[in-house]
Structure 1
Amino acid sequence: MKKARKKAIWVLILFLLVLAGSIYVALFGVGDRGKAKYISLGLDLKGGLSVTYEIQDGDYSDEDVQDTIYKLQKRIDSHTTEHNVYSEGNGKITAEIPGVTDADAILEDLSIEGKLEFLDPENYELWSQGKDYTPALTGDDIKGATSRINSTETGEDNEVQLAFTTDGAQKFADVTSANVGKIVYIVYDGKVVSAPTVQQAITDGNAVINSISTYEEAESLATTIRIGALPLTLKQVRSNIVGATLGSEAVSTTIKAGIIGIICIFIIMICVFRIPGLIASLSLTLYTFMILLVMNLFNVTLTLPGLAGIILSVGMAVDANVVIFTRIKEELATGASVKQSVKAGFHNALSAIIDGNVTTLIAALVLGIFGTGTIKGFAITLAIGIVLSVFTALVISQMVLNALVTLGVTDVKYFGKAKEPGKVNFVKGGKYCIIASVLVIVIGFCFMPIFAKTKGSALNLSIDFAGGTSITAEFDKAYSLSEAEKEIVPVIAEAAGISEADISVQTVSGTNEIVFKTTELTTQGDDSQLTKVTAALSEKLGATVTNSDNISGSASNDMTRDAFLSVALAAVLMLIYIVIRFKDVKFGVSAVLALCHDVAMVFVLYILLRLSVGNTCIACMLTIFGYSINATIIVFDRIRENIANAGTKKDYKHIVNLSINQTITRNIYTSLTTFVTIFVLYVMGVAAIKEFAFTLMAGVVIGAYSSICVTGPLWYYFKTGFGKKKDAAANGKNSKKAVEKKKTAKAQ
Structure 2
Amino acid sequence: MQKVEKPEKTPLKGKSQRVYSSYLFKRIHYDFIGKRKIAFIISIVTAVVGLGSLIIKGGFDLGIDFRGGTLVELRFERPVQVDQIRETLRTVGLGDSIIQQFGSDREILIRVERGISGEDASAKVIEALRNGLKDDPFEVRRVESVGPQVGEELTRQAQLALLFAIAGMVLYLGWRFDSKPAISMIVISVATILLSSWGGISIPLLTSVALIAVLVACVWFDLRFAFAAIVALIHDVIVTIGMFSITNREVTLPVVAAILTLIGYSVNDTIVVFDRIRENLRLHYRTKPFEEILNDSINQTLSRTILTALTVFIVTLILYLRGGEVINGFAFAMLIGIITGTYSSIFVASPILVVWQNISKKKSYAPKR
TM-score, normalised on structure 1?
Answer: 0.34
Paired residue type of 1:660:
I
Contact between 1:426 and 1:657, CA under 8 Å: does it hold in 2?
yes
Partner secondary structure for residue 263 of structure 2: helix
Closer, same or farther: CA 415–649 of 1 in aligned 2, 3 Å: closer
Closer, same or farther: CA 693–550 of 1 in aligned 2, 3 Å: closer
Once superposed, what is the RMSD of the aligned Cα atoms? 3.9
Q: What is aligned with 2:13?
A: 339
| Correspondence list, 1:204-223, <5 A | none
Q: What is aligned with 2:7?
A: none
- Residue number among 516, 531, 536 corresponding to 2:129 in the alignment: 536
Q: What is aligned with 2:53?
A: 447
Closer, same or farther: CA 444–530 of 1 in aligned 2, 3 Å: farther
Given the alignment of the two structures, is residue 468 of structure 1 paired with residue 102 of structure 2, yes or no? no
Q: What is aligned with 2:201?
A: none
Closer, same or farther: CA 575–613 of 1 in aligned 2, 3 Å: same
Alpha-carbon distance in structure 1 between the residues aligned to 2:289 and 2:354: 10
Q: Which runs of 5+ in 2 are unaligned?
A: 1-10, 90-94, 103-108, 139-143, 182-221
Alpha-carbon distance in structure 2 between the residues aligned to 1:435 and 1:414: 34
Contact between 2:251 and 2:329, CA under 8 Å: does it hold in 1?
no
Contact between 1:470 and 1:551, CA under 8 Å: does it hold in 2?
no
Q: What is aligned with 2:282?
A: 644
Alpha-carbon distance in structure 2 between the residues aligned to 1:588 and 1:446: 28
CA positional deviation for 1:720: 3.1
Describe the superposition over 1:605-632 as per-residue Cα deviations: whole angstroms up to 9, x where unpaired.
1110111101011011011111122210
| Correspondence list, 1:98-177, <5 A | none
Partner secondary structure for residue 341 of structure 1: coil
| Correspondence list, 1:305-344, <5 A | 339-342=13-16
Describe the superposition over 1:352-371 as per-residue Cα deviations: whole angstroms up to 9, x where unpaired.
xxxxxxxxxxxxxxxxxxxx
Closer, same or farther: CA 573–550 of 1 in aligned 2, 3 Å: closer
- Residue number among 34, 43, 60 corresponding to 1:459 in the alignment: 60
CA positional deviation for 1:550: 8.0
CA positional deviation for 1:599: 1.3
Closer, same or farther: CA 441–470 of 1 in aligned 2, 3 Å: closer
| Correspondence list, 1:568-583, <5 A | 568-580=166-178
Contact between 2:68 and 2:145, CA under 8 Å: does it hold in 1?
no
Given the alignment of the two structures, is residue 621 of structure 1 paired with residue 259 of structure 2, yes or no? yes
Alpha-carbon distance in structure 1 between the residues aligned to 2:21 and 2:311: 19
Describe the superposition over 1:403-450 as per-residue Cα deviations: whole angstroms up to 9, x where unpaired.
xxxxxxx8x689966764544322221133123212221222112232
Q: What is aligned with 1:725?
A: 361
Given the alignment of the two structures, is residue 518 of structure 1 paired with residue 111 of structure 2, yes or no? yes
CA positional deviation for 1:651: 2.0
Contact between 1:631 and 1:703, CA under 8 Å: does it hold in 2?
yes
Q: What is aligned with 2:214?
A: none
| Correspondence list, 1:262-661, <5 A | 339-342=13-16, 420=26, 422-452=28-58, 458-469=59-70, 485-486=75-76, 494=86, 495=89, 496=95, 498-500=98-100, 518-520=111-113, 534-540=127-133, 551-552=147-148, 553-554=150-151, 556=153, 557-580=155-178, 585-648=223-286, 651-661=289-299
Alpha-carbon distance in structure 2 between the residues aligned to 1:674 and 1:533: 40
Contact between 1:652 and 1:727, CA under 8 Å: does it hold in 2?
no
Alpha-carbon distance in structure 1 between the residues aligned to 2:65 and 2:21: 50
Partner secondary structure for residue 113 of structure 2: coil
Q: What is the aligned-residue identity percentage?
A: 29
Closer, same or farther: CA 678–418 of 1 in aligned 2, 3 Å: closer
Alpha-carbon distance in structure 2 between the residues aligned to 1:657 and 1:665: 14
Closer, same or farther: CA 339–571 of 1 in aligned 2, 3 Å: same
CA positional deviation for 1:562: 2.1
Paired residue type of 1:566:
F
Describe the superposition over 1:550-606 as per-residue Cα deviations: whole angstroms up to 9, x where unpaired.
832545154134224312321321221222369872111111111111111111111
Describe the superposition over 1:209-242 as per-residue Cα deviations: whole angstroms up to 9, x where unpaired.
xxxxxxxxxxxxxxxxxxxxxxxxxxxxxxxxxx
Alpha-carbon distance in structure 2 between the residues aligned to 1:633 and 1:728: 22
- Residue number among 307, 313, 319 corresponding to 1:675 in the alignment: 313
Contact between 1:651 and 1:727, CA under 8 Å: does it hold in 2?
no
Larger Rg: 1
Alpha-carbon distance in structure 2 between the residues aligned to 1:607 and 1:416: 39
Q: Which runs of 5+ in 1 are unaligned?
A: 1-336, 343-409, 453-457, 472-480, 503-515, 730-748
CA positional deviation for 1:685: 1.6
Aligned residues: 286
Paired residue type of 1:499:
I
TM-score, normalised on structure 2?
Answer: 0.65
Contact between 1:635 and 1:707, CA under 8 Å: does it hold in 2?
yes
Q: What is aligned with 2:343?
A: 705
| Correspondence list, 1:177-256, <5 A | none
Partner secondary structure for residue 340 of structure 1: coil
Paired residue type of 1:460:
D
Closer, same or farther: CA 423–416 of 1 in aligned 2, 3 Å: closer
Describe the superposition over 1:332-383 as per-residue Cα deviations: whole angstroms up to 9, x where unpaired.
xxxxx652234xxxxxxxxxxxxxxxxxxxxxxxxxxxxxxxxxxxxxxxxx
Partner secondary structure for residue 629 of structure 1: helix
Paired residue type of 1:551:
G
Partner secondary structure for residue 705 of structure 1: helix
Alpha-carbon distance in structure 1 between the residues aligned to 2:145 and 2:19: 68
Contact between 2:85 and 2:129, CA under 8 Å: does it hold in 1?
no
CA positional deviation for 1:517: 7.7
Alpha-carbon distance in structure 1 between the residues aligned to 2:340 and 2:21: 30
Relative to its length, the structure with more strand (as a share) is: 1
